[in-house]
Amino acid sequence: MAKRVLIKFSGEALANEDGHGIDSKTLKYIASEIKPLVDNGVEVGLVVGGGNIIRGVNASKEGIIKRSSGDYMGMLATVINAVAIQEALEYFGLKTRVQSAIDMKEICEPFIVRRAIRHLEKGRIVIFAAGTGNPFFTTDTAATLRAVEIGAEMIIKATKVDGVFDKDPQKFSDAKKLPRLTYDEALQDNIKVMDDTSIALAKDNSLPIIVCNMFEEGNLYDIIVNENFEKCSIV
Ligand code: UDP
Question: Ligand 1, residues 76, 139, 194: which to mutate, most atoms within 8 A of Cβ?
Answer: 139
Model pLDDT, residue 230: 87
Q: Is 4 helix (H, G, I), strand (E, B) or coil?
A: strand
Q: Report whether residue 137 contacts ligand 1, using a CB cutoff of 6 Å.
A: yes
Give the DSSP letter of residue 111. P
At residue 47, φ and ψ (nearest 5 deg) are: -130, 135
Q: What is the mean pLDDT of residues 84-105?
A: 98
What CA–CA distance (Å, rounded) separates 166 from 154? Answer: 22
What CA–CA distance (Å, rounded) separates 54 from 51? Answer: 5
Give the DSSP letter of residue 15. -
Which one, of 36, 134, 139, 132, lies nearest residue 89 by Cα?
A: 36
Q: Report whether residue 197 contacts ligand 1, using a CB cutoff of 6 Å.
A: no
pTM to 2 decimal places = 0.95
pLDDT band at 81 (very low <50, low <70, confident <90, very high): very high
